[in-house]
Amino acid sequence: MTTVNTAAVQEDSVVRPIHNPQATVNPCTLCAPLGAALATTGIQGAISLLHGAQGCATYIRRYLISHFREPVDVASSSFGESQTVFGGEDNLSRALDNIEQQYHPDIVTVATTCVAETVGEDVPMLLKRYNSRRNKALPVVYAATPSYKDGHVEGFHSMVHGIVQSLATNTGAPRRAVNVLPPLISPADLRHLREIVQGFGVKATLVPDYSDTLDGVILDEYRAMPEGGTPLDDISSMPQSLTTIDLTMTGKAPRASDVLARRGAQIHLLGLPVGIRATDAFVEHLTQMTGVARPQWLAQERGRLLDGYADGHKYVFGKRVGLYGDPEWVASLATFLFEIGARPVVCATGARNRALTKALEQLPPGSVDEVLDDTDFVRFEVACRRTNPELLIGNSKGYGIARNLGIPLLRLGFPIHDRIGAGRIQVLGYRGSTWLFDSIVNLLLERKQNASDVGYSYL
């Protein structure tokens, strides 16, 4: 089988059937500004402001903090009743002033909550007016993130698009660097992608890169802004890099790499490097674009992953697995499962785009029994009861279903609210895939061992 280029497939909006309005029970998505705020944490010196009422920002912070277990500061322009009637310009200005005074940021990203979008705030105009009143402009980036259209996946992509659109403007000298546009992945995975790229002797520019900001070390002082994130200068020179590897499936959200393409950059769409074939594609592309041979340690890690496959292949063969989460994850994991001989029987996402469905069509017919798009967890559970998975892979919100079905859950993706170390989970590259493969095998072994009357300690 050829490599499934999962990210290469895009399609426009799929909407809930208009004549069959249904309630959503146990949502499988978060809202758009969460994605925008998260993307912002990966930019050096950036802080995020949500234009709208206070609650959204606080809820979003709690969600992010519970996953990353790190401080995540997201400001709000704190709409009251009068702002919903007369507009939020004053609050927006006051918020920017206060943010500047407290955080001294290099840049502020502004995203909208539903209420600001509904009252029709013209945020770009308000930001322009704000800066025209100042002596020195405060650098701001804006993304529209109405959650009645989009979820956190699209919000994330919209903000990355906004950042690239306003900041990646340098068309100067070419640089020996590789850009990577990742979807929502863990800090550990971001770090590893950077490590792989740097293994080819070039600079890595990841947008966003919250590997340090959201997996920080303990310091002896509290920092208003954690260290790390992609430097603004690096973002600025992105169009001059050797290549841009885009790992996202943006659906109907705007795509940052399209902007870079218009500015002369070379774009390559790939699926997340999970497993041998997908990682090979990533690595081969780097070899090609840098002209540097694959480093020896990568070859070793590849060999080790294959060795692991051999050790565990029988335990996963034909095993039925349920996948849910962000489309990039589900698509890549489905491809990976196919590679190791397991079956992704049900694949679900709460994201509101057809990207996943399209991507999965690349697998041989019959590989997947059911694909759910724009779903909630109640519908996913019903699909699980039809397809009988023996293992689930996804975020902690699916724990209840795994429990009901009496099958193990491998926690991956966002959010993970019932374990520590979510930021340290690494499943990308050969190294990460080895951990992933071992974990799948061991969960299945453990289940069998627990269910056995004998209780062998030698398997």
Partner 1 sequence: MAFELLKDRRSQVVRSQRNEVASVDCNKASVAGSVSQRACTFCGSRVVLYPIADALHLVHGPVGCAAYTWDIRGALSSGPELHRISCSTDLREKDVVFGGERQLETSLRQLISKYSPKAAFVYGTCVIGVIGDDVAAVCRRVEQDVGIPVIPVLAEGFCGTKRDGYNAATRALLTLIGRGDTSSIGKYSVNLMGDFNVAGESWIIKKYFEKVGIDVVSVLTGDGRVDDISRAHGAKLNVVQCAGSMTPLAQGMRERYGIPYIRVSFFGVEDTSDALYRTAKFFGSPTILSSTQALVTEELSRVLPELRSIRCKLQGKRAGLYVGGAFKAFSLVRALRQLGVSVVVAGTQTGNQEEYAELQAVCDENTIIVDDTNPLELAAFLVEKDVDVFIGGVKERPVAYKLGIGFCDHNHERKVALAGYAGAVAFAREIHATATSPIWSLMPRRSRPERARIGKATP
Residues 98-117 that bind ligand SF4 (CB under 6 A): 113-115
Strand spans (E) along 168-238: 177-181, 203-206
CB of 29 to partner 1, least distance (A): 7
CB of 206 to partner 1, least distance (A): 23
Interface with partner 1, residue 131, by CB under 8 A: no
- Give the nearer residue to partner 1 in terms of CB position, either 216 or 229: 216
Given 77, 165, 257, 433, the residue binding partner 1 (CB under 8 A)? 77
- Give the nearer residue to ligand SF4 in terms of CB position, either 31 or 384: 31
- Give the nearer residue to ligand SF4 in terms of CB position, either 148 or 456: 148
Query: Residue with structure tokens 């705030």?
Result: 121
CB atoms within 10 A of CB 197: 23
Give yes or no for a contact between 48 and 108, defined as CB atoms under 8 angstroms apart. Answer: yes
Q: Within 13 Å, how many C-alpha atoms sit on residue 60's CB side?
A: 32
Task: List the interface residues with partner 1, window 240-269 (CB under 8 A).
Answer: none
Nearest residue to 260 (alpha-carbon basis) of 283, 285, 281, 235? 235
Interface with partner 1, residue 421, by CB under 8 A: no
Task: List the interface residues with partner 1, window 96-115 (CB under 8 A).
Answer: 96-99, 101-103, 113-115
Distance of alpha carbon 249 from alpha carbon 245, whole angstroms: 12
DSSP 409: E
Of 52-60, 256-264, 292-300, 321-329, which segment contacts ligand SF4 by CB under 6 A? Answer: 52-60
- Contacts of residue 247, defined as CB under 8 A and 6 or more positions apart, other chains included, come to 7, 180, 181, 182, 183, 270, 271, 272, 273, 328
CB of 140 to ligand SF4, least distance (A): 19
96 binds, among ligand SF4, partner 1, none (CB under 5 to 8 A by kind): partner 1
DSSP 206: E
Distance of alpha carbon 369 from alpha carbon 344, whole angstroms: 8
Task: List the interface residues with partner 1, window 359-378 (CB under 8 A).
Answer: 378
Of 50-58, 197-205, 210-218, 228-236, which segment contacts ligand SF4 by CB under 6 A? Answer: 50-58
Give yes or no for a contact between 266 and 246, defined as CB atoms under 8 angstroms apart. Answer: no
Task: List the interface residues with partner 1, window 137-196 (CB under 8 A).
Answer: 146-149, 151
Burial label, 404 (beta-carbon count in 10 A; 0-12, 13-18, 19+): exposed
Task: List the interface residues with partner 1, window 34-73 (CB under 8 A).
Answer: 34, 49, 52-63, 65-66, 69-71, 73
Distance of alpha carbon 286 from alpha carbon 281, whole angstroms: 9
- Give the nearer residue to ligand SF4 in terms of CB position, either 59 or 103: 59
Report, in angstroms and rounded to the nearest whole number, the Rg of the chain calculated over CA atoms.
Answer: 22
Taken as a whole, the chain contains a residue count of: 459
Given 320, 343, 397, 431, the residue binding partner 1 (CB under 8 A)? 397
The one-letter amino acid code at 250 reads T
Q: Angle between the 275-290 and 187-198 helix axes, to the nearest 10 degrees?
A: 40
Interface with partner 1, residue 26, by CB under 8 A: yes
Interface with ligand SF4, residue 435, by CB under 6 A: no
**Binding-site string for ligand SF4 from residue 279 to residue 318, where x marks contact by CB under 6 A and - marks none:** ----------------------------------------
Which helix H or strand E contains 164, and what residues bound it? helix 152-167
The one-letter amino acid code at 106 reads D
Q: Token pair for residue 168?
A: 């990646």
CB of 313 to ligand SF4, least distance (A): 44
CB of 279 to ligand SF4, least distance (A): 35
CB of 59 to ligand SF4, least distance (A): 5
Q: What number of chain residues touch ligand SF4 (CB under 6 A)?
A: 11
User: Which chain residues interact with ligand SF4 by CB under 6 A?
Assistant: 31, 33, 53-56, 59, 113-115, 147
